[in-house]
Amino acid sequence: MRPSIAKVRRMKISNFLFPESRSPAEDARIIDETFEEALLTDRLGYDVIWLAEHHFDGICAYVDPVTFAAALARTTTHAHIGFAVAQMALHHPIRMAEQMALIDNLTRGRLIVGLGRGTAYNIYDYQGFGIDHTEAQGRFEEAEAIMLEAWKGDKFEHHGKYFDLRLPALRPAPFTKPHPTVIRAAATEHGMLDIARQGRPFMMNVQTNAETARRMVLYRAALRETGLDDAAVETRVGECWVWRNVCVADTDAEAERIAVPAFHAMQEMRAAMRHQVYREQGVSIVPMPAPGTAPPARTVVEHSLVYGSPATVTEKLSALRATGVGGLIMQFRLGPMSYDDTARSLTLFREQVAPALL
């Protein structure tokens, strides 16, 4: 690693819109507030607005990132619109390629196609679409290859395990040449290394700061093994993103009062439907944790939630900045947190924390 390269890079900032709605009666209000949060993010000058995809349980109120991205395409002017991530096992690749090409045109190239196989936790996402969750990775790999081929604009046929296709050409053609920016998510070290061996950037889910730093070292090493020189390696690192939940308030005490209960409530809601389905059906994607099992980093305040005054948050983020990673995926609205508290946090971060990262 060349520390001097990492120090001079501008760290990109973003807002991950992942709003929960605790009942169907709240859906319309939460969706409206999320749209307003996106517009505020754009006005404040954030680099990216990230969108999630989850179904049937209210943990992502707008559900469909493609539709929501289209709504934002002509109402935002600055921020890129990205997916973190689209669950490709649930999408037909030609339909998705068309939709991405259209949004790429509507945004004049402000699109980041963030892709993943699909949720690693919520089996009901797959059940609702009639998809076998064990096919998710295979469907993802085949679908991504089809999309990249379709974006070339030529006539082509594809005869694979999951898709049998023949089309004369994809229209509209993407605005971005040769195609919109594509980035993959990696929840595991193994997945991250696979992406690195392809010479591609990646998005890292919530990990401890120590694990984040360790994986970035491994990522650099894997890139070098592909033959990339140091400058090219740092370019790829600068295209990578890491996720943290963030709350900024005027004081540390105020941030703790707002963020910590909301964070715990969010984690409880995200697990509730998974546990309900397991009780009803006896099925889950991964084994349900045994009593006493250490919780994953993404559910632990110490590792997953960065909160405090602007000065405190700036200091807490210094460990991530030191890794040289290019951007922060930050979720500001946590669980039942109010829109007003979210907007205040989002604004304080942009005005008083971001300058230290830029």
Q: Which two tokens stand for residue 128?
A: 């609702």
Among 351, 345, 339, 355, CA closest to 256: 345
pLDDT at 9 over 80: no
Q: Where are the domains of the chain?
A: 3-357
> How is residue 49 written in tokens?
């607005």
Tell whether the model's pLDDT for residue 5 goes beyond 70: no
Stretch 314-321: mean pLDDT: 96
pLDDT (0 to 100) of residue 4: 39
CA atoms within 13 A on the CB side of 247: 28
116 to 86, 140, 191: CA distances (angstroms): 6, 7, 11
DSSP 182: E
pLDDT at 8: 54
> Could you report the per-residue pLDDT of 10-32, keeping only the tens digit for each?
899 999 999 999 999 999 999 99
Rounded alpha-carbon distances, angstroms, from residue 17 to 86, 140, 162, 228: 13, 23, 31, 34
CB burial readout 46-58, b (16+ within 10 A) else e? bbbbbbbbbbebb
Beta strands in the chain (DSSP E): 12-17, 48-51, 80-83, 86-87, 111-116, 156-159, 164-167, 181-186, 202-204, 241-248, 305-308, 327-331
* 37-80: pLDDT as tens digits: 999 999 999 999 999 999 999 999 999 999 999 999 999 999 99
pLDDT averaged over every residue in the chain: 95
pLDDT digits (tens, 9 = 90+) for 114-162: 999 999 999 999 999 999 999 999 999 999 999 999 999 999 999 999 9
Q: Can you tell me the distance from the alpha carbon of 113 to that of 116, in angstroms, rounded to the nearest whole number?
A: 10
Please give the structure tokens belonging to residue 117: 């196989």
pTM score: 0.96
Taking each helix axis from N to C end, the angle separating 339-348 and 252-281, rounded to the nearest 10 degrees, works out to: 120
What pLDDT does 292 receive? 84
Cα angle, residue 294 at apex, residues 117 and 319 outer, rounded to 5° = 75
Q: How confident is the model at residue 355 (pLDDT cuts 50, 70, 90)?
A: very high
Query: What kind of architecture, by CATH, is found in domain 3-357?
Result: Alpha-Beta Barrel (3.20)
User: Is 6's pLDDT higher than 70?
Assistant: no
pLDDT at 21: 98
What the block records as the tokens of 80 is: 């890129």
